[in-house]
Amino acid sequence: MTDWSRIDVAMGARSYPVLIAPAFMSRLGSTLDGLGCGPRRFVVSNPTVWRFWGQQATESLPGATSILVPDGERFKTLATVSRIYDELIRAEADRASVVIALGGGVVGDMAGHAAATFLRGVAFVQVPTTLLAQVDAAVGGKVGVNYGDGKNMVGAFHQPLAVLIDPSVLATLPRREFRSGLYEIIKYGMACDGDLFARIRTDLGSLFRRETGALTPIIADSCRIKAAIVASDEREAGPRRVLNFGHTIGHALESLTRYHRFLHGEAVGFGMLVAADLAVRRGFLPSDDAKALASLIGELGPLPPIGDLSAHETVEHVRRDKKILDGRLHLVLPTGIGHARVVSDVSEAELVESLLDAGLVA
């Protein structure tokens, strides 16, 4: 079929394909058969996703056992993972069983954690249903759960057998969740691929209408970027860090507001604006490029308010972030549209200035 895209995540013996095709939901089973995936299949999902897509999943995966977990980041815990273990044991899952995650990043991270640890690891397939999971969370093998106050504190690297992406499932995604994924695509464009950045702008109307003809290539490009970086740097020692563009500040804003105010992508949207401002101040980034980024982010719609948030408290949260190495603040700064680099000498005063520019209070 011509509307298929295939991207290979090259990781030696653990290499796997990311397959993207509209109406893929009706062909999950036959695709897995073709990939040599065993017949004992367990679909982990949540009631929200299942209400829209459960019937298609059941029809396309005959004989699979479904395991539903509660919807929401607050349920991304070891307690929920242990419910998945219980269901796997009840259904007599064995080493040859395959865990299939059907849902957003929360379901993917949790089902992946269960797959990584059950019987010391069983095969795992990602069927991401949010834009964010399709372009980011489902590719790269990071799985895990929150623990105590720590986000993604407990987890593993467990690469999937395949990632099966159907852009048509995005039709039922709430608009705000859809936009949240678009910020991550802007991240790829700004940090790694100027053509992608330009295309998001040109195709924004079709993307917002969720036209699969516009979505498929943009998801494919994002996955291609993530796949290449993951293949060269699975554990984020070097190049993978560029994908943290917007994230150090984004994470700080999320944790400062206790994960209530921002969706992840929205916080990343702010984080990119602040990093771009800092890059302009340093003379790394032409101000026209920063303006192009701000205008594209603006076109997606309003971001949550930040006027009551303190720049100094945000820096406090940046300091606690596990991405600070040797006490120094590492930040990804854009150097042009499609280019970014990691700098390791950003001072807190500099960061405060840029947070104030973005509209935070002292």
Q: Which residues bind ligand NAD (CB under 6 A)?
A: 46, 48-49, 52, 71, 73, 76, 103-107, 109, 129-130, 132-133, 136-137, 140, 142, 152, 169, 172-173, 177, 180, 264
Residue whose CB is less far from ligand NAD, 50 or 197:
50
Cα separation values, 330 from 13, 248, 333, Å: 33, 8, 9
Residue whose CB is less far from ligand NAD, 74 or 95:
74
Q: How far is the CB of 102 from ligand NAD (least distance, A)?
A: 9
- Residue facing ligand NAD at closest CB distance: 105
Q: Which is catalytic among the residues 142, 151, 199, 224?
A: 142
Q: How far is the CB of 109 from ligand NAD (least distance, A)?
A: 5
Apex 147 CA angle, 43 and 86, nearest 5: 35
Q: How far is the CB of 266 from ligand NAD (least distance, A)?
A: 11
151 as an active site residue: the answer is no
Q: How far is the CB of 343 from ligand NAD (least distance, A)?
A: 23
CA–CA dist 113, 253 (Å, integer) = 26
Question: Strand 65-68 vs strand 16-20: parallel, antiparallel, or unpaired?
Answer: unpaired
Q: Which is catalytic among the residues 40, 41, 151, 240?
A: 240
Q: How far is the CB of 176 from ligand NAD (least distance, A)?
A: 9
240 as an active site residue: the answer is yes
327: left (phi over 0), alpha (psi -120 to 50) or beta: left
CA–CA dist 134, 146 (Å, integer) = 21
| Residue 123, φ and ψ in degrees, nearest 5 | -65, 155
Collapse the DSSP code of 329 into the 3-class scheme (helix H, G, I; strand E, B; otherwise coil) and give the result: coil
Q: Which is catalytic among the residues 87, 184, 254, 266?
A: 184
142 as an active site residue: the answer is yes
Q: Which is catalytic among the residues 40, 76, 241, 244?
A: 244
Residue whose CB is less far from ligand NAD, 106 or 280:
106
120 as an active site residue: the answer is yes
Residue whose CB is less far from ligand NAD, 144 or 334:
144
CA–CA dist 243, 191 (Å, integer) = 7
* DSSP H helices in the chain: 28-34, 47-60, 78-90, 105-117, 131-132, 175-192, 194-202, 204-208, 212-232, 247-256, 264-281, 287-299, 311-320, 348-358
Residue whose CB is less far from ligand NAD, 147 or 281:
147
Q: Which is catalytic among the residues 226, 241, 254, 266?
A: 226
Which residues, 6 or more positions from 281, have their beta carbon under 8 angstroms from its beta carbon?
350, 353, 354
264 as an active site residue: the answer is yes
Q: How far is the CB of 299 from ligand NAD (least distance, A)?
A: 21
Nearest CA-CA partner of 55 in 249, 299, 64, 248: 64
236 as an active site residue: the answer is yes
Q: Which is catalytic among the residues 234, 236, 316, 348?
A: 236
**Beta-bridge mates of residue 41:** 98
Apex 290 CA angle, 210 and 258, nearest 5: 65
Nearest CA-CA partner of 222 in 246, 180, 192, 177: 192
**Beta-bridge mates of residue 310:** 361
Q: How far is the CB of 54 from ligand NAD (least distance, A)?
A: 11
Residue whose CB is less far from ligand NAD, 29 or 141:
141
Residue whose CB is less far from ligand NAD, 241 or 264:
264
Alpha carbon 185 to its chain's center: 10
Active-site amino acid positions: 120, 142, 184, 226, 236, 240, 244, 247, 251, 264
